[in-house]
Each structure stands twice: as C-alpha cells, then as structure tokens.
Amino acid sequence: MGLLGERGLELERRNNALRLNGNTVNGATADIGITTRGSDWYFAVCAVMTVAGFAFMGLALRRPRHTRIFHYITSAVVFTAAIAYFTMGSNLGFTPIQVEFFRSDSKVRGTFREIFYVRYIDWFITTPLLLMDLMLTAGMPWPTIMFVIFADWVMIITGLVGALVVSRYKWGFFTFGCFALFYILYHLGWESRRNANRYGKDVGRAFLFCGALTSVLWLCYPIAWGVCEGGNIIAPDSEAVFYGILDLLAKPVFGALLIWGHRNIEPSRLGLHIRDYDNDVAVNEKHRPTNDYGVPASGHTGETTGATTGATNTATSGTTTTPAAAPNSDGLGGNVPTHTPGV
C-alpha cells in the first residue's frame, strides 16, 4: 500500500468506547443501548460545549472583573455539560434498568435499557445556573431565586427517580416533576418577566429572548423523557440526538444570546453591586506603608517635616524651652502618637 497508505491506516479515526466500556453494569447487561453512531454524536456535542465554554471565557476577559458574572455562570454551564457528554460518549455513567414496555421494534427490543444517570447529575448542576442567569437578569430577590431553584431540583430528582423505577409508579414521579416545571415556567413567563421590564427596555428584551427560548425548550424535555426513559419508544441513539439538540439550544445558544443581551447592561443596574478588589479600600489599606506607630503613612514627607520644623522653632524661640512630651502608652508595650498624622 505504500508509506502514505500505512500512515492513513494509522490515522484512521476509531471510536473504541463501546468495545472498552461494555454494557454490563452492576451485574446486568443493557441490551438496549447506544451504538458507535450514538457515541460519536455524544462526543461531538462534548466538543461544541467545550468550544463554547472557552469562547465565553474569552469574552469575559474583555470585560472588567465586576461585570463578568453572567460570563462565568454560562461558562460553568457548558463546561459541566461537556464533561457529562464525554461520559456518555464513553458509554459510562449509566445503569441498565428493566423497561416497563416491551417493544417489537428491533431498535428497542430487549429487557434492559441504558439509563444515563450522569445526564441528571449534569442537569442538577446546570439548570440552577441557567435559572440564576435568567432571574438575576430580571433582578429577582434572592429568596425567590432560591425557591425557584428548589423547584428545579425537585424536577430533576423526580425525573431521575422515575427513570430508575421499573414499575408504572415511575409516572407518579414524572407527574411531580411536571408540576415543578410548570411552577418554574410560571415564574419565568409572569413574575420574572414583569420585574425585568422595570429595569429598562434593554433588560426586558434580553430576558424576553432568553426566557422564551428556555421556556419552549424546557417544555420539550418531558416529551423526550416520555419517549425515552419512560416509554421505551425511540432507540438510545435517537435519544442521544433528541436530548443533544435540546441541550445545545438550551446551553451554548442560550449563553450566546444572554451574553449578547448583556453587552451594554451593567450588573449594578440589576442590583448586583460587585466590588473589584483592585478598588477595595479595605484591601489596599493592608498594603500601604505604615510609620512606627502602625498608622498608614501619608506620603507627604516634605510637608510633614516642614511643619514639624516650624513648630519646633517657634516653641524654642523663647527664653524657656519646653521639652517634648513622651508618647502615651497604649498598654500593650507600644506607644500612641500624641499628634494626628496626615493621612
């Protein structure tokens, strides 16, 4: 074949994840699992998430530190998702669960289906961050933000528990999760939207675009759950594409839209008064030089010396010279200055 042919074989792309990481976990083998195509798709989404994370961090470096909060939150979202998708592409982070509905279709025929619990770990971390992006944009108070995040955690955990339950009781957990989702969507569509409009048209517009995108996409996740983990209707490869497209729109696309919307919005307008340590007086005072009494030096040495010399000459111009009084003791072995140093 020649040298070029041999090198071409060496450089041939191979995905060995399914061969190295089999479908047997905890004594059970998933006979309904992803194929190499599904693994390739997961790795592709991982790459997109990673690139988006570095792009958001690069944009953050172009802004003052006290205005980077939304860049950092959004970067954390996509970096976390990148790790989760790498795990799923490696055919890890799942457990085989017996299906409730046995299908005749060859793509979903079997007894045990792969349930990627790492997906829910991803959502447990990233969905509260996405909600923080939105609700901080709307200027919502912290108690409201924390309670909405609690509802979000209820939604994610009940979804995971339902996916791991074998019997039809899984749909009870699915219902709990849907109630939590509707509460979140109510807050985004009504309470938060109204509050965002009070901060100006640009803030209201940024929240409207990002909030509407999130609301529409999040309504699709219960549908995906119902045809994948719940109903065993579509194949795991199709599940990967379904969830992957939703996550790409809900995280990198959402993040780009949010950062673009915040390009001219100062966090202080939203009640986020973030202090940069370079401008923090308390921090800088610790690094200022001090005199023998531990008092920060004023830096006006010439003026102080001149004033002291003049005062001394005036005091000693008479016939009687008054000795300088000793500094008072501070009771700790040190001295307290008897004059007020210039600061």
What would the pLDDT profile of 78-103 be if each residue is shown by its tens digit? Answer: 999 999 999 999 999 999 999 999 99
Q: Is residue 297 part of a domain?
A: no
CATH assignment of the domain containing 228: 1.20.1070.10
pTM assigned to the model:
0.78
pLDDT tens figures, 33-50: 999 999 999 999 999 999
pLDDT tens figures, 192-229: 999 999 999 999 999 999 999 999 999 999 999 999 99
Q: Is residue 46 part of a domain?
A: yes
Task: Tell me what pLDDT residue 169 has.
Answer: 97
Q: Is residue 242 part of a domain?
A: yes
Q: Is residue 10 part of a domain?
A: no
Q: Is residue 7 part of a domain?
A: no
CA dihedral 269, 271, 276, 279 (to 10 degrees): 80
Q: Is residue 6 part of a domain?
A: no
More confident residue, 302 or 164: 164
Q: How confident is the model at residue 343 (pLDDT cuts 50, 70, 90)?
A: very low
| pLDDT above 90 coverage of the chain, percent | 71
Structurally, the chain folds into a number of domains equal to 1
Q: Is residue 9 part of a domain?
A: no
Q: Is residue 141 part of a domain?
A: yes
At 34, which amino acid appears? I
pLDDT tens figures, 230-259: 999 999 999 999 999 999 999 999 999 999
* Residue range of the domain that includes 223: 15-271
More confident residue, 38 or 8: 38
